[in-house]
Amino acid sequence: MHLVDHIFILLLFFIQPLYGARSFRLYRLEVEAGTPPSRTKLYLQTMATQWLFLVALALAWSVFERPAMALGFVAPAGTGFWVGTVFLVLFNAYLVYAWRGVQRADADEKEKHAQCLGDMAHFMPHSQQDFRLFVGLSITAGIVEEIVYRGFVLWYLALFMPLWVAAVVSSVAFGLGHSYQGATGALRCGLLGLALATLYIVSGSIWLPIVAHALLDVIQGATVLEMLRSKKTEKPIADSVENMTGR
């Protein structure tokens, strides 16, 4: 254990939630004041910040000569991995089903769903261009946040408390890190963090949580885009996904 580890925890548990909430509030106020939203800038800044933090963590890990397996980089295997895989497949099948349901909804139904987003509508993709960048943001979050919150934070906390208690505490920190989404959003993210921590512990590897997190964000982004986009000016999101994948 080094001072650098404590600094990382301080940043994640206290500084990042305050900075994120302040930044999103300023962004929202600018939009409400009439400034055109710059989701491209917001997505790129968020990705850059997350990757810089991960690079700093990786450098510290290398300097202290710690094994990558301490962060969960273990070859997937065993019953826990396959149980987690089945859960992941079923959960994403449900998300895709929900996305298809929004696709089939009429304009009034989409409007009702969109109203539930509240201030988060400012952050979510409104166009195919937004969505392409949002996919990059989702992959970034899946990789970085899982290595940081499930890998590093769990490793750190497990030095002071039982593993499952550490999973709960790390999930609280994960929820606070998303406090810019409001109390309900922070609670929802905290519960998601606990589910991902459980997946990590059961599977014994960081790979499943990374995939689960990235897929969840991508599909949710696609679903929200269906609620928000203008059908007169935007092609169906399915066309965008097919173009991105080359199909």
Whole-number percent of the chain with pLDDT over 90: 62
pLDDT digits (tens, 9 = 90+) for 74-118: 988 889 999 999 999 999 999 999 899 888 888 888 888 888 787
- Whether 193 shows a pLDDT value over 80: the answer reads yes
Give the largest CA-CA distance in the chain: 57
Higher pLDDT: 242 or 49? It is: 49
pLDDT-wise least confident of 94-103, 118-127, 163-172 = 118-127
Interatomic CA distance for residues 245 and 247, integer angstroms? 6
Interatomic CA distance for residues 183 and 195, integer angstroms? 19
- Whether 174 shows a pLDDT value over 50: the answer reads yes
- Buried b / exposed e over 197-206, threshold 16 CB at 10 Å, is bbbbbbbbbb
In angstroms, the Cα distances linking 103 to 108, 166, 224, 236 are 12, 40, 10, 9
For residue 95, give the H/E element and its range.
helix 78-104
Q: 184: pLDDT confidence band, cut at 50, 70 and 90?
A: confident
Interatomic CA distance for residues 170 and 191, integer angstroms? 11
pLDDT digits (tens, 9 = 90+) for 48-78: 999 999 999 999 999 999 999 999 999 888 8
Report, as an integer, the average pLDDT of 24-49.
Answer: 85
| DSSP state for residue 178 in the 8-state scheme | T
- Whether 240 shows a pLDDT value over 70: the answer reads no
At 244 the pLDDT is 40
Q: Which of 123, 115, 129 is nearest to 235 (CA)?
A: 129
Interatomic CA distance for residues 242 and 247, integer angstroms? 5
- Whether 235 shows a pLDDT value over 60: the answer reads no
